[in-house]
Amino acid sequence: MTALPSPTSQRLDRIDLVRAIAMLWMTAYHFCFDLNYHGLISEDFYQDPFWTWQRTAIVSLFLFTAGVSQAIAVDQGQTWGRFWRRWRQVALAALLVTAGSWWMFPRGVIYFGVLHGIAVMLIVVRLTAGWGRWLWPLGVLAIAGKFVAPALMAMEPGLLVFNTPWLNWLGLINRFPVTEDYVPLLPWLGVMWWGMAAGRWALAQRPAWLGAGDTSAAGLKRGMVVMGRWSLVYYLLHQPVMLALIAGALWLLG
């Protein structure tokens, strides 16, 4: 078995690389969304499969790599203190997203979007990190729950209470809430569980697949690895920057 890097602070670059790919894809998606928002193109980002499937793929990449990252953190002996410090950053960023969406989309405020979901899922995944192979079937159940819930709610009207804003963050819904971003526990917890399971397997069986934290990498790869390490800051800034640039360009063009 290939030796792993030092378990103290070593990052494995291929996880950051995959995260950077998701970030670039997200940027392209949001750029098109912003063009649509300003009326420069005409696309249906809420119903057109071309856009909805892209969103699903992007969110899946982010959550899967978050699960793998948690597997690495546990393997490297991350303390609960360090975990909570990082968690507080994610939770604060989620609150900032809610505040920003209140100003930009007053009728579709983001109250449980990607970062809100990640904040809750990180706790669940960390607490279940030692469940080993059970994480695979648990992931299947979480994803299946998304599709089973509407049928159960049709048979039992009392379950419609899960459509309310107080409970729809669980994902047991048959009516999509009015919000610009919605990443509930079901089915997305299943994706992060799979990331944790895949990370634990790779660390035990194929550690080289995760990269070696090679700081000598240069060029585009190195830039993307660095980008992946600053994903939270990038996530918060990329949309305001793009919106400002588009608005500025429109103003200059009259």
Run means of pLDDT, 10 residues per run, the chain, 254 residues: 38 87 97 94 95 97 96 94 96 96 92 97 97 96 92 89 94 92 97 97 89 62 88 95 93 85
* 240: in domain: yes
Q: Does residue 38 form part of some domain?
A: no
Q: Which residues pair with 182 in a beta bridge?
A: 112
Instruction: Please report whether residue 8 resides in a domain.
Output: no
Q: Is residue 131 part of a domain?
A: yes
The model's pTM is 0.90
pLDDT at 217: 55
Q: Per the domain annotation, does 4 fall within a domain?
A: no
- Per-residue model confidence (pLDDT) at position 135: 97
72 found inside a domain: yes
Token digits of residue 174? 């048959």
Q: Which residues form the domain of 219? A: 13-22+65-252
Among 51, 38, 70, which residue's Cα sits nearest to residue 193?
Answer: 70
Do the domain assignments include residue 176? yes
- Given this model, what pLDDT does residue 221 score? 78
Alpha-carbon distance of 246 to 227, in angstroms, equals 23
Name the CA dihedral angle for 35, 39, 45, 49, rounded to a multiple of 10 degrees: -90
Q: Quick one: pLDDT at residue 254? A: 74
Dihedral pair phi/psi, residue 109, rounded to 5°: -55, 135
The DSSP output letter for 208 is G
Evaluate whether residue 177 is within a structural domain. Answer: yes
User: Residue 244: what pLDDT?
Assistant: 92
Rounded CA gap, 121 and 65, in Å?
A: 13
pLDDT at 2: 33
Total Cβ atoms within 10 A of residue 97: 22
234 and 23 in contact (C-beta within 8 Å)? yes
Q: Name the amino acid, one letter, at 119.
A: A
Domain count within the chain: 1
The contacts of residue 229 (CB under 8 Å, 6+ apart) are: 11, 16
